[in-house]
Amino acid sequence: MEISGRQLIAGRETSATSDSFKADNPATGDALEPAFYEATVEEINEAVEAALEAFEIYRSKRVETRADFLDAIADEILVLGDEFLERTSAETGYPLARCSAERDRAINHTRQFANLIREGSWLDARIDLPDPTRKPFPKPDVRSLMQPLGPVAVFGASNFPIAISVLGADTMSAFASGCPVVIKGHPAHPGTCELAARAIYAAAERTGVPAGVFSLLQGRGHEVGTALVQHPDITAAAFTGSLAGGRALFDVANQRPVPIPFYAEMGSVNPLFILPGALKSRAPQIAEGFVAALTQGNGQFCTNPGIVLGNESEDWQRFSALVKEKVEAVAPATMLHAGIHKAYRSGIESRCENEDLQVLGHSSENPDDAKLEAAAYLFETTQQGIVNDPTLLDELFGPCSTLVSCGGSEDMIALAKSLEGSLSVTIHGTEKDLADHRDLISILQTKTGRLIFNGYPVGLEVCHSIHHGGPYPATTHSHYTSVGTRAIERFVRPVCYQDWPDTLLPIELQNANPRGVLRMLNGHRTRDAV
């Protein structure tokens, strides 16, 4: 399938400027063809106008049509074939197996959203029947359910070019809710973005969905994304990336004349606590699992464990030695793009100069800067070192972590209180450990969206129950997830109908309940008709 490098606006190719850029192969430094054109203000306006026009048509489509559209997207992702995976690999340095796994994840979550909207209970339909005889005032007929917001802006993530980009849960949850999407492609993998966009258009054509339901805008700088968030007809936006980038766009969204929700997934240190019982009984296994989690994807996951805490003891020293040995055996690997590589190198240099940190170990093989390779690094400090320099708790994106020696449970509790929000917190322990550290666990529950016991934060399970979010700075809205079917809640709002004629109500609120969705009727869950 040919890659044009142009904007794809409601299925049409456009290029209103000669200003362009190319993607690079991070492993070789070679520029990849073709050139991609920068979206202009006029093209941004055109894309949002097309989305707004499509909104009224798309939201009124039968739920089955929207579900069929999502299933068709899943089908068309496979139709892209090996060419899609090869382009993704060339733009990211990821091996083909990793790209294939991401494709599978995108297909699975797309079908999950299709099944979710067919089932219908996500709408949270509620009916309180009238009582004209109630005193002192008659009770009205009140009904409500979730309805889509309108055109949504989505930003592709650099570290998941398939599963958190054009084909990610942000896009699919918006489609499932009834919202059109205008996406800002990531400049590090623009070809992957375009191929994915073409799969969406093929699915729209198959299912009779208006092409304006989706547009892809390309751009290497911040201007396109900023203008998109500022557009008055954009009703919400979703972003995965750096704290600096997410916070800047969050501020733009809130400084609009009419602010909009901006759902950003940003920095997360994902602390891992090892309690005494587990440290004594399973140090080798924990060390192996930790290093695997730290270096998976070359540390380029939002859930890599960036800090590990344990009580100073012989068992802790044994654990530290095991981790050092395993980190030194990790071969350097290519990072996603030059920007991430530069930030990682700079962060490592800064930490090596920090008097409160000591280098415990790093990859024994030297990285090749020409291939944007990163070495794995492990630092160590004490609880007092963190007190002296709280910036040591900041995320460094890449295969780097810090072991923190604590003097006992009081030190752990003090450190837990000083933590900022994270996407995950992991605890390794025995049942007795948990009983002995209830105060610690109580604090950690306030610091994260996902509390893991005797596991590791990478390898996120994409399912209905998952919550991939957390208190700031992990995300801008800790109530919401960017992974799993609850992600649909970001792009809907409740609408209430009072004393409305039955035939003019949304079908899920009508007395007969023709779709058979689960509803709350006078405070009780049921699928029964009124």
Q: Which residues are catalytic?
A: 265, 302
Which residue type, as a one-letter code, is found at position 212? G
Residues in the chain: 530
Q: 155 - beta bridge partners? A: 184
Q: Which candidate, 348, 353, 402, 354, places its Cα nearest to that of 379?
A: 402
HSE toward the beta carbon, residue 459, CA cutoff 13 A:
10
Contacts of 506 (CB under 8 A, 6+ apart): 145, 147, 497
Q: What residues are paired with 228 via a beta bridge?
A: none
Of 221, 230, 269, 267, nearest to 250 (Cα)?
A: 230
Q: Which of 491, 518, 386, 292 is nearest to 529 (CA)?
A: 518
β-strands 272-274, 373-374 pairing = unpaired
Q: HSE of 420 in the Cβ direction (CA atoms, 13 Å)?
A: 18
Token readout for 454 is: 């005797």
Strand partners, 419: none
| Number of C-beta neighbours around residue 59 at 10 A | 17
- Torsion (CA) 118, 106, 108, 228 in degrees, nearest 10: -20
Bridging pattern class, strands 12-14 and 425-428? unpaired
* In contact, 437 and 311? CB cutoff 8 Å: no
Distance between CA atoms of residues 178 and 111, nearest Å: 15
Of residues 188, 207, 244, 254, the one with CA closest to residue 397: 244
